[in-house]
């Protein structure tokens, strides 16, 4: 039962906290402060509750209300910041978190975008699980790229077992990962998909482990999340919808013997007010 908060980020939440405790960076009664799109915050909040830490999370305004409510249910303080600002803008949820750390006594930020315990958690758990559950037959691993910890840690383990295994990263249209991967210049644009894509290059991703990047639009991701629920009974979020849409593109070039594993990070129950809300979909021209 490694995902009690309902997403793959539970693994990195406890891993980053326990590593910080071991190094003396997080002290009893301390406050954990972190920028998040929701799921890492939930993983951190759960661990913080049982360990006695306070938690403050910053997030941009596109994060769905369900995630905000879950964080508050765990006793977290949630600070909502504007969308569409550069990462180094004082109003960005990254910079607001940095300011709060400076202003708050006995505060610690795990910094999931640079903390190598993020990919390490998946190297130790997710990779071995997939290898074991497929009896080593996996030929392709497909996952979204947000902080990059999931795809990096999992891919590193799997490629150590089979260097010929192919790793496909799914990026949001408007994100800069495609440009980072191709070595081209680009400008970040806004997008609705939560949890994948980035407007800077985190220290937690190793693009050298990625064999191909597939870009997915908001409309494809949200449409696929709804289709997955109605046709396959997979209740998943927008980033998982993006992974499925990207996997279908990748599948066109695969032979019948391929064993493809998709990582679908969280439940669609977090997105009832967005992806599964007809009015919201129409308002955002995604229907």
**Are 91 and 85 a contacting pair, CB within 8 Å?**
yes
Burial class (CB in 10 A: 0-12, 13-18, 19+), 43: buried
d(CA 8, CA 2): 8
Handedness of CA 87, 92, 95, 97 (dihedral sign): negative
Active site residue 219: no
**Are 174 and 191 a contacting pair, CB within 8 Å?**
yes
How is residue 68 written in tokens? 């905000």
d(CA 145, CA 258): 22
**Are 234 and 269 a contacting pair, CB within 8 Å?**
no
**Are 64 and 195 a contacting pair, CB within 8 Å?**
no
Catalytic residue among 9, 67, 95, 192: 9
**Residues belonging to the active site:** 9
């Amino acid at each position: 039962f490694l995902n009690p908060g309902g997403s793959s980020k539970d693994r990195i939440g406890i891993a980053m906290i326990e590593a910080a405790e071991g190094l003396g960076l997080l002290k009893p009664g301390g406050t954990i402060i972190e920028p998040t799109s929701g799921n890492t915050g939930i993983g951190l909040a759960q661990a913080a509750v049982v360990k006695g830490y306070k938690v403050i999370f910053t997030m941009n305004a596109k994060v769905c209300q369900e995630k905000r409510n879950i964080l508050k249910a765990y006793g977290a303080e949630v600070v909502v910041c504007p969308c569409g600002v550069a990462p180094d803008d004082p109003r960005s949820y990254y910079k607001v978190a940095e300011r709060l750390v400076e202003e708050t006594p006995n505060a610690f930020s795990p910094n999931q975008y640079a903390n190598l315990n993020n990919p390490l958690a998946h190297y130790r758990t997710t990779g071995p699980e997939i290898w074991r559950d497929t009896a080593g037959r996996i030929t392709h691993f497909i996952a979204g790229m947000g902080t990059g910890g999931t795809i990096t840690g999992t891919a590193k383990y799997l490629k150590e077992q089979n260097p010929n295994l192919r790793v496909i990263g799914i990026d949001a249209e408007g994100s800069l990962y495609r440009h980072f991967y191709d070595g081209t210049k680009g400008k970040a644009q806004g997008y609705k998909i939560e949890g994948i894509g980035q407007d800077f290059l985190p220290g937690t991703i190793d693009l050298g482990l990625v064999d191909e990047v597939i870009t997915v639009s908001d409309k494809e991701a949200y449409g696929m999340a709804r289709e997955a629920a109605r046709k396959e009974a997979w209740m998943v979020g927008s980033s998982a919808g993006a992974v499925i849409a990207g996997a279908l593109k990748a599948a066109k070039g695969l032979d019948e013997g391929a064993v493809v594993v998709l990582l679908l990070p969280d439940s669609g129950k977090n997105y009832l007010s967005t992806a599964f809300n007809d009015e919201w979909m129409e308002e955002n021209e995604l229907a």
